Chain A
Amino acid sequence: MLGLGVDRLQADINRLLTSLFHQGVLDEQFLQLQQLQDETSPNFVYDVINIYFDESEKLLRNLRLLLMDREFSDYKKIGLHLNQLVGSSSSIGARRVRNVCVAFRSASELSNRPGCLRGLEVVEHEYHYLKNMMHELFQLEQQRILAAGVRYPM
Chain B
Amino acid sequence: MEKGFSPVGLRVLVVDDDPTWLKILEKMLKKCSYEVTTCGLARDALKLLRERKDGYDIVISDVNMPDMDGFKLLEHVGLELDLPVIMMSVDGETSRVMKGVQHGACDYLLKPIRMKELKIIWQHVLRKKLQEVRDIEGCYEGAADWITRNDEAHFLGGGEDVSFGKKRKDFDFEKKLLQDESDPSSSKKARVVWSFELHQKFVNAVNQIGCDHKAGPKKILDLMNVPWLTRENVASHLQKYRLYLSRLEKGKELKCYSGGAKNMDSSLKDAEVNSGHQSPGKSSYAFSGGNSLLHKATETDPNPLASASVSDPNTDVHMPPKAKKTRIGFDPPLSSSAFDSLLPWSDVPEALESKPPILYDNSFLQQQPLPSQSSYASNSAPSLMEEEMKPSYETPVGGTCVNTEFLMPQDKSPTVTLQDLDLSAPSAISCMKLQDFSLNVTNNTESILRSLNWELPESHHSGSLDTDLDLSWLQGERFLANTGLLQFQDYSSSPSLLSELPPHLWFGNERLPEPDEYSFMVDQGLFIS
Interface residues of A (CB under 8 A from B): 29, 32-33, 36, 38, 40-41, 44, 47-48, 51-52, 55, 80, 83-84, 86-88, 90-93
Contacts and interface: CB of A to CB of B under 8 A. Distances in A.
Contacts of A32: 112, 114-115
A32 B24 CA distance: 10
Interface stretch (B1-9, B13-21, B439-447): B13-21
Which residue, of B64, B90, B114, has the highest number of chain A Cβ atoms within 10 A? B90
A93 B112 CA distance: 8
A116 to B, nearest CB: 20
Contacts of B408: none
25 contacts: A32-B115, A33-B24, A36-B28, A36-B31, A44-B27, A48-B20, A51-B19, A51-B20, A51-B23, A52-B20, A83-B64, A83-B90, A83-B91, A84-B17, A84-B18, A86-B90, A87-B62, A87-B111, A90-B90, A90-B111, A91-B21, A91-B112, A92-B20, A92-B24, A93-B112
Given A41-B27, A91-B24, A29 B112 contact: yes
A87 B18 contact: yes
A48 B91 CA distance: 22
Interface of B: 17-21, 23-24, 27-28, 30-31, 62, 64, 90-91, 111-112, 114-115
Given A36-B28, A86-B90, A91-B112, A55 B64 contact: no
A83 B18 CA distance: 11
Contacts of A52: 20
Contacts of B115: 32
Contact of A91 (B20, B30, B31, B64): B20
Contact of A88 (B21, B27, B114): B21
A92 B20 CA distance: 8
Contact of B111 (A44, A51, A91): A91
A36 B19 contact: no
A92 B21 CA distance: 9
Nearest to A48: B23
Contacts of A51: 19-20, 23
B20 A36 contact: no
Contacts of A33: 24
Contacts of B30: 40
Nearest to A53: B20
Nearest to B64: A83
A96 B460 CA distance: 47
Given A32-B114, A32-B115, A83-B90, A88 B23 contact: no
Nearest to A37: B27
A91 B18 contact: yes
A26 B453 CA distance: 42
Which residue, of B27, B111, B112, B114, has the highest number of chain A Cβ atoms within 10 A? B112
Which residue, of A36, A48, A87, has the highest number of chain B Cβ atoms within 10 A? A87
Contacts of B27: 36, 41, 44
Given A87-B62, A87-B111, 9 more contacts: A32-B115, A55-B19, A83-B64, A83-B90, A84-B64, A87-B21, A88-B20, A91-B111, A91-B112
B70 to A, nearest CB: 12
Contacts of A44: 27
A48 B111 contact: no
Contacts of A29: 112
Contacts of A92: 20, 24
Nearest to B27: A36
A93 B18 CA distance: 15
Contact of B24 (A48, A80, A84, A86): A48
B40 to A, nearest CB: 11
A100 B506 CA distance: 49
A88 B24 CA distance: 10
Contacts of A91: 18, 20-21, 24, 111-112
Nearest to A33: B24
Nearest to A89: B20
Contacts of A36: 24, 27-28, 31
Contacts of B111: 87, 90-91
A40 B27 CA distance: 10
Contacts of B24: 33, 36, 48, 91-92
A47 B90 contact: no
The 8 closest A-B pairs by CB, nearest first: A88-B20, A91-B20, A29-B112, A52-B20, A87-B90, A91-B21, A36-B27, A90-B112
B90 A55 contact: no
A76 B375 CA distance: 37
A137 to B, nearest CB: 17
Contacts of B114: 32
Contacts of A48: 20, 23-24
B25 to A, nearest CB: 9
A38 B17 CA distance: 25
Contacts of A87: 18, 21, 62, 64, 90, 111
Contacts of B19: 51, 55
A135 B310 CA distance: 49
B21 A47 contact: no
A120 B160 CA distance: 67
Contacts of B112: 29, 32, 90-91, 93
Contacts of A38: 31
A87 B28 CA distance: 17
B71 to A, nearest CB: 16
Nearest to B24: A91
Contacts of A88: 18, 20-21
Nearest to A86: B90
A41 B28 CA distance: 12
